[in-house]
């Protein structure tokens, strides 16, 4: 086996090839993280995200465009809200962090807000780490990192992450801050959206823990993150501490279990490339060379979902009607198989799944009066 450095370089090279010439790698954004959480076992998603392929562009090129456009109203408002939260050197944000997470500490005043600008994701990651190191060396004050950049190994390839903010507390500990534009109404918020924010933050926590482990003082990364949202019907910020220990544990295990990108890449035919500049047939061929695990949940998480849904339809698989549909079907996986078994045209009658299907079909026919009625309706 070649030494790790060489291997890493080789993989990076291979992934660049997959993206296509002169295509920049895309950072693992919130949507990619949501897709990872929603379908960790999907190899197609894994290799595309791992290689930094822009799946929205790819979906367009495949002729099954994604529907995740963003309304400019939402965009403008989201940005305005984030700017408001971070205005005046993050006064309001730090006030919320103090109030919700660290009341025992000195109230924040004149917090440090280091400049994190640098060239490229690697440069920004290094700059962020330097800022965190400096903060660790001079504890006792509040520091706000606005849009830091973190790197995390995902399935053997580095992924770049950009949390909205990270706060360093006077005791040296770190908190991930997530700013969302859905409202907190009377202290409650949409649980599905909070769940997504918690899973996203858990990834940032893991990435920060790796940075912390490299520092001498090994600062503590807090497992309660700060979720900042508009309050009630206004765009005034309010916040809530969200315990992400569960999401962190789950994500850590998911990351540990991911099939290595390298392995998936090695299974691809020579010359596979996902460049949107390729003609649609070649692109389709490339995408189809990696197996996908489609489920309807993908529709709200992955840009490629409509493409995969078409394929699932063509393959007649039952899971395209939802994961729970399979519950009682045993080893039957296609719609044709199930219906044939239910109609008594195929299947082993000793298989409990087949027997149950036939009973279900008979009861259904009886109730609908499409078979000789056995029993009068129960009125």
Restricted to residues 73-102, the positions that interact with other proteins (CB under 8 A) are 73-78
Q: What are the backbone dihedrals phi and psi of residue 170, each rounded to the nearest 5 degrees, phi first?
A: -60, -30
What pairs with residue 168 in β-bridges? 143, 174
Spatial separation of the C-alpha atoms in residues 237 and 244, rounded to whole Å: 21
Q: Rank residues 259 and 284 by Cβ distance to other proteins and give the closer one.
A: 259
Alpha carbons 187 and 1: distance in angstroms, whole number:
55
Q: Residue 377, interface with other proteins (CB under 8 A)? A: yes
Q: What minimum distance in Å lies between the beta carbon of 325 and other proteins?
A: 5
Q: Which two tokens stand for residue 287?
A: 């995408």
- Report the residue number, 278 or 353, with the smaller CB distance to other proteins: 353
Residue 344 makes contact with other proteins by CB under 8 A: no
Q: How many residues does the chain have?
A: 379
CA 145 remoteness from chain centre: 23
To other proteins, the closest distance from the beta carbon of 117 in angstroms equals: 28
Residue whose CB is less far from other proteins, 20 or 296: 296
Q: Is 335 in the site for other proteins (CB under 8 A)?
A: yes
CB of 264 to other proteins, least distance (A): 14
Q: How many residues bind other proteins (CB under 8 A)?
A: 98
Contact status: 338 vs other proteins (CB under 8 A): yes
By the 8 A CB rule, do 242 and 201 touch? yes
Site string for other proteins, 186-205 (x = CB under 8 A): xxxx-xx-xxxxxx------
The 170-189 contact track toward other proteins, x by CB under 8 A, reads: -----------xxxxxxxxx
Sign of the alpha-carbon dihedral angle for 290, 306, 257, 17? positive
Q: Which of 100, 155, 329, 347 binds other proteins (CB under 8 A)?
A: 329
Least gap, CB of 162 to other proteins (angstroms):
20
DSSP secondary structure of 162-212: --SEEEE-TTS-EEEEEE--S-BBTTB--HHHHHHHHHHHHHHHHHHHHHH
Contact 334, 316 (CB under 8 A): yes
Residues in Cβ contact with 159 at an 8 Å cutoff, skipping those fewer than 6 apart: 27, 28, 49, 50, 151, 152, 153
Nearest to 62 by CA among 297, 288, 313, 271: 288
Give min distance, CB of 373 to other proteins, in A: 9
Nearer to other proteins, 1 or 327 (CB): 327
Q: What pairing do the DSSP bridges indicate for beta strands 224-230 and 237-243?
A: antiparallel
Query: Is residue 290 within the footprint of other proteins (CB under 8 A)?
Result: no
Among the listed ranges 154-162, 170-178, 248-256, 267-275, the one in contact with other proteins (CB under 8 A) is 248-256
Of 123, 291, 331, 349, the one binding other proteins by CB under 8 A: 331
Q: Binders of other proteins among 23-42, rule CB under 8 A? A: 37-41
The only residue of 131, 242, 292, 308 in contact with other proteins, by rule CB under 8 A: 242
351 lies in the binding site for other proteins (CB under 8 A): yes
């Amino acid at each position: 086996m070649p030494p790790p450095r060489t291997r890493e370089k080789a993989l990076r090279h291979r992934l660049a090839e997959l993206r296509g010439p002169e295509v920049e790698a895309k950072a693992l954004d919130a949507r990619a993280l949501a897709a990872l959480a929603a379908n960790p076992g999907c190899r197609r998603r894994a290799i595309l995200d791992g290689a930094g392929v822009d799946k929205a562009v790819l979906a367009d090129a495949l002729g099954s465009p994604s529907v995740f456009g963003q309304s400019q109203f939402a965009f403008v408002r989201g940005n305005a809200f984030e700017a408001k939260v971070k205005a005046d050197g993050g006064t309001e944000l730090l006030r919320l962090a103090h109030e919700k997470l660290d009341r025992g500490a000195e109230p924040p005043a004149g917090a440090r807000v280091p400049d994190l600008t640098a060239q490229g994701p690697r440069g920004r990651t290094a700059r962020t780490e330097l800022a965190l190191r400096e903060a660790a060396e001079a504890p006792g004050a509040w520091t706000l990192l606005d849009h830091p950049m973190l790197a995390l190994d995902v399935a053997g390839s580095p992924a770049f992450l950009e949390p909205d903010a990270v706060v360093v507390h006077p005791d040296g500990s770190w908190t991930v801050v997530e700013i969302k534009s859905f409202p907190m109404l009377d202290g409650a918020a949409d649980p599905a959206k909070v769940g997504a924010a918690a899973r996203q933050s858990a990834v940032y926590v893991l990435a920060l823990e790796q940075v912390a482990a490299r520092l001498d003082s090994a600062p503590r990364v807090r497992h309660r993150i700060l979720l900042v949202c508009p309050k009630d019907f206004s765009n005034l910020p309010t916040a809530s501490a969200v315990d992400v220990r569960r999401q962190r544990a789950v994500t850590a295990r998911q990351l540990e279990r991911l099939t290595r990108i390298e392995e998936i890449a090695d299974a691809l035919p020579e010359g596979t490339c996902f460049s949107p500049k390729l003609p649609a047939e070649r692109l389709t061929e490339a995408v189809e060379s990696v197996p996908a695990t489609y489920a309807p949940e993908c529709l709200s998480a992955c840009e490629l979902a409509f493409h995969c849904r078409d394929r699932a339809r063509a393959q007649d698989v039952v899971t395209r009607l939802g994961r729970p549909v399979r519950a009682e079907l045993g080893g039957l996986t296609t719609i044709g198989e199930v219906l044939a078994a239910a109609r008594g045209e195929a299947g082993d009658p000793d298989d409990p799944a087949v027997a149950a299907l036939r009973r279900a079909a008979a009861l259904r026919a009886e109730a609908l009066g499409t078979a000789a009625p056995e029993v009068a309706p129960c009125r």
